[in-house]
Amino acid sequence: MGTASGAVALLLVVLGASVSSSSGQLQVGFYSKSCPSAESTVASVVRGTAAADSTILPALLRLQFHDCFVRGCDASVLIKGGNNNAEVDNNKHQGLRGMDVIENAKAQLESECPGVVSCADIVVLAARDAVAFTGGPSFDVPTGRRDGKVSNVRDGDVLPDVRDSAQVLRSKFRASGLDDKDLVLLSSAHTVGTTACFFIQDRLYKFPLPGGGLGSDPSIPDGFLSELKSRCAPGDSNSRVSLDRGSERVFDTSILRNIRNGFAVIASDAALYNDTSTVDVVDSYSGLLSTIFGPYFRQDFADSMVKMGSIGVLTGASGEVRKVCSKFN
């Protein structure tokens, strides 16, 4: 998950609901007649923001994860509430960024096509564009989502955590209609962006050791451990570390090779190579010949993004199209 720029709780309410049956009502080019400029406007806003701050790209990718895995892809994470009771106030959304980009795109679209384009669709389109602008695949995403009318702080409790084992991660993804392959592919979004030291402090200094006591995760190679400790001193929560060692700005399969070779930064990424159900998936994409004979990482990643973007969607008469993304109509 990320992913991605900002803290990284990998990537569920839907946790308990699989891909919504209403997802069939989504369609590529949904706004082709009602708001022809919808997708190009979102892309323009993302591109312009990234020109000033390239770290916004992985942040937008992470934003979609955090929206879709809580209540489905309904823009509930964008709601700002009083008394810290909105979904976004949950600690698992810590460091989440990019909401202003969505709001800027929404403002432009409201001037072009008032009341037509949902905030939920803008989130998904912006993430799609962020992938392309980091060198990842360009792909079509179906649109037609409506915005949700619920946002509760406790809803975010279902998000996967960096401390989750592979078994727990697999269970959470299955509950949302995503399989082991999707888990590996969507985790590989960590090919771009950084994480705050806050999310690896336990792995570096407070890891439960077999003989008792706390120390460093023994699975981390000595040289890499020293490297991580030099970047994240004890108690340092705010310094940042590349999630994909040596390739944080480029969308590629380097993250999977790093996971395979023991250079995963966060524990949830490392866990993918400690489970028989995910290790083969990691290996299948990190081999040198996979770009020739398959499986094809870029296409499969795009497919998983589209699949995730269909979780628990509201369509038709459900939900609403917000005028402002941060508040209900």
The string of pLDDT tens digits covering residues 123-132 is 999 999 999 9
67 assigned binding-site residue: yes
State the helix-helix crossing angle for 56-68 and 297-308, rounded to 10 degrees: 50
Per residue in 303-325, pLDDT tens? 999 999 999 999 999 999 999 99
87 marked among binding-site residues:
yes
Alpha-carbon separation of residue 25 from 113, 146, 196, 299 (angstroms): 21, 11, 38, 23
Given 160, 181, 211, the domain boundary residue is: 160
Asked if the model's pLDDT at residue 160 lies above 80, the reply is: yes
User: Are residues 156 and 181 both part of a single domain?
Assistant: no
pLDDT score recorded for residue 293: 66
Whether 207 is in a domain gets the answer: yes
Structure confidence by residue, pLDDT tens digits, 297-307: 999 999 999 99
In this structure, of 9-13, 190-194, 298-302, the range with the lowest mean pLDDT score is 9-13
Share of the chain above pLDDT 90, in %: 84
To the question of whether residue 191 is assigned a binding role by annotation, the answer is: yes
In this predicted structure, what is the pLDDT of residue 61?
97
Residue 14 has pLDDT above 70, yes or no: no
- Give yes or no for residue 2 having a pLDDT over 70: no
Per the residue annotation, which of 62, 66, 181, 203 is the catalytic one? 66
Looking at the fold, whether 80 and 105 belong to one and the same domain comes out as yes
Looking at the structure of the chain, the number of domains it has is 2
- Does the annotation flag 222 for ligand binding? no
161 is in an annotated binding site: no
Q: What is the mean pLDDT of residues 83-100?
A: 93
Query: Is residue 66 flagged as an active site residue?
Result: yes
* Residue 326, in any domain of the structure: no
Quick one: pLDDT at residue 295? 87
Share of the chain above pLDDT 70, in %: 91
Residues 285 and 240 in one domain: yes
- Residue 263 has what pLDDT? 97
Query: Is there a single domain that holds both residue 153 and residue 252?
Result: no
Q: Which pLDDT does position 142 carry in this prediction? A: 98
Tell me which residue range forms the domain holding 239: 166-306
What CATH number is attached to the domain comprising 99? Answer: 1.10.520.10
In a domain? residue 227? yes
- pLDDT beyond 70 at 21: no
On average, the pLDDT of the chain sits at 91
Verify that 156 and 263 share a domain, yes or no.
no
Per-residue confidence (pLDDT) for residue 18, from 0 to 100: 35
Q: Are residues 121 and 183 in the same domain?
A: no
Do residues 184 and 148 share a domain? no
Summarize pLDDT for 248-304 with one digit per residue, the tens: 888 999 999 999 999 999 999 999 999 999 999 999 998 776 767 678 999 999 999
Residue 24's pLDDT band, with cuts at 50, 70 and 90, is: very low
